[in-house]
Amino acid sequence: MVTTRAESVLLLTFARRGEEQAIRDALVALEHGFPAASVFAVATPASAPVLKSVWVGDLILHDSPGSARRVLREVAARKPKAAAIVYAGAAPEAHLKLETLALRSGAPAVYRCLSGDRVQVIGRLRLCGSVVCKAVFACARLTAAAGMCCVAFSWLRVAQLLAGGRRASRP
């Protein structure tokens, strides 16, 4: 006898307090698209109570720095038919982690659940482009910050040398 696994859908959200309605709207939209699917989510210890309060009981807990690989293996083992990213509370630019996890899940369909009950279907190629752009932008900001730190350090070093050299006494 061959048993078939039920379809599964991955729900990705930061699940902060106050985002419960956005998560409920996403669950309703997923229920219409995948009526027989079971929904599971990746949660941290802080987000698990919020997800449980909106009836997402099947959680993969990301509870320690070393658990990221375990979480990725567990998500991939479930072979989700879709991944839904809830964009609530923060701008869509802030969801690099969730979008990367949606890509790594291997789900053939990815949905963006925006404020209210708006749901957009996005392709994996478009999602990949979004992840790459956000990663490049994050690297550019990090590089700019490092450059500013180097300039500030150089400025302080020059000021120290002008004030009396390396071994100038402090007042």
Question: What are the tens digits of pLDDT across the range 64-81?
Answer: 887 888 999 999 999 999
- Locate the domains of the chain by residue range: 8-122
Fold of 8-122: Rossmann fold (3.40.50)
For the chain, how far is it from start to end, CA to CA, in angstroms? Answer: 85
Backbone angles phi, psi at 81, to 5 degrees: -75, -25
Give this prediction's pTM. Answer: 0.78
Buried-state track 56-88, b at ≥16 Cβ within 10 A, e below 16 = beebbebeeeeeeeebbeebeebebbbbbbbbb
For residue 32, which of 86, 79, 82 has the smallest C-alpha distance?
82
Q: What is the pLDDT of residues 16-30, one digit of tens each?
A: 877 888 888 888 888
Query: d(Cα 132, Cα 97) in Å, to the nearest integer?
Result: 12
Per-residue pLDDT of the chain (171 residues; tens, 9 = 90+): 333 456 899 999 988 877 888 888 888 888 888 888 899 999 989 888 988 888 887 899 888 887 888 999 999 999 999 999 988 765 656 688 889 999 999 999 999 888 766 788 888 899 999 899 999 999 999 999 999 999 999 999 888 888 876 665 555
